[in-house]
Structure 1
């Protein structure tokens, strides 16, 4: 039997596809295109936090208005639609670890944890229980069959590339997932929404973290962890004590504004020590990081990380979602830990963020996997460190 447009050996009308519908234009168009192609489409919207630990924020992913919008789209398309209460799962898998990570002096990415757990683990399991052949989302990413499994690639619209948040997807999950928007631009997506007469065609994209109100992370953490915010010292790299602070959760690596200290030079947060509640600040040049150590590696590439040891020119990494991939080398790989040399250096690398690997920088470049930044080694500290011996 020939493959359908989702690379599944069934006619579309015999292929059930669960679509994760957030109430935004991307997932709505995904559902519309699949329904138009004749697939048996079931829309599912997850209630993740509304009324839970995080404060409400209008327009955020999976809040009350978004659930309403998803229902309206499903009605327009004539597809079945269900709302599942995943609030408790979301709290345990995403919100609680987010708070704990900040208290440990890290800068976490809850969207990565959400994709790894609630969406691509729990929802995928639900889709299988519904007899689905695939779970489709509105993410801008491409997957293609390569041998026995599917591989992940950067999308056509690099301005919408969401691979940084999807690096933690496992090979087994990729085999079940489909991303119909990977070959489209955002403008094309909105035009398709208009063609279908969807009420969300002009709806703005959600911004920031869905459960954080007005970007005030500390308010969420204070509510979840009332004992958070132990005061401590703000010290300069040269050892001077410059002042006091109310909690390291108010700071992140690379921060300049709101430090609460007066100095004759611009100062940036260069280190956070949760054990001593110490915030270390210094000049901008102290932010330059040359090497990072990763934990919780999720590798997707056909070539193992050890195969890139010392290699030049065929490996690139993103250490922030808003930055393009930059040249890198793997200098150590043992077990689940990898150490990476940033060829050009990066400013403001923070523990808790992701480092995502690519085999190129262009659209269609393969996403090789990634890990959580456990430690960044600024240039000054690296110079005083023992050389790292590459090992397999």
Structure 2
């Protein structure tokens, strides 16, 4: 049996995961299909009145307002389910270029005390034409950002308009992690520690480099790097139970991955992959190599994964302690069950919800989903 096919997991319903076997929809028992149906029927999708076209990121403030990033460069606020007709001012110059623009947003874990909000976006700051991903933080005062601080900027600007990453998460120690994609330069950036791109980064909350980062003593390396060998990570989340960092990334044609991110590890792109070029030709014959990490899960065909959150809210008892992420390509959500650090099950839910851009669990316990062209939708548990 073809190894790539044998290692993939069909995404049509509830499935057990294995690197050496896969299950198709017609192999599911009636009980499994019923369980999947019950999970999906447990929520109702409720739209908010929002006009963002590509809602890349969102966070919920202590007063329950939703702060939403629009990839076109606008920062908007949703209050009581209605988007306020006023942009938040004070962002630096955002380069809107194909996949580039205003990207993720995250609150500092101690936001209630310090007021820091973190953003990633495509910036032309620095030398060279084009742009690269930047991380900043600022505070919100009324409808303006104040006290803005630059924390990191990918040094190698490029005029290419894709693979910026980029998501943000914090670990339990207060370190901030963010991702930068390979910027469409797969053969140059991801495996080279001396350049930015194709990496996950780790910083102190104020932008300082942690002295225990894995490459601080490697000559010529970018010392903010935490892991490398990534293609385009657009999902990044911290497991609230273990504190470990998980990421998913877009593969080429096939080979989207879910990875457990660990210090100093090489995730293989583009040396190893379960995908091929978009025209169907091969760029590598390798799916494994010593010193390179295997994904915990990969999708073939690609689902175009987007956003990611760990569900902890008691409002969704059948979803608790699972990963929830989106599929832009197939317009559904994916619910993933872990056993320790291994994926054991996944379910497709809310098929047809729309082109999912982001998935977020708010402070109020509700799950919000950003849908391209449709704005923000709220998943309301049903009795």
- TM norm structure 1: 0.24
Structure with greater strand share of residues: 2
> Normalized per residue, which structure has more helix?
1
Q: Which has the larger radius of gyration?
A: 1
Instruction: Using structure 2 for the length normalisation, give the TM-score.
Output: 0.25
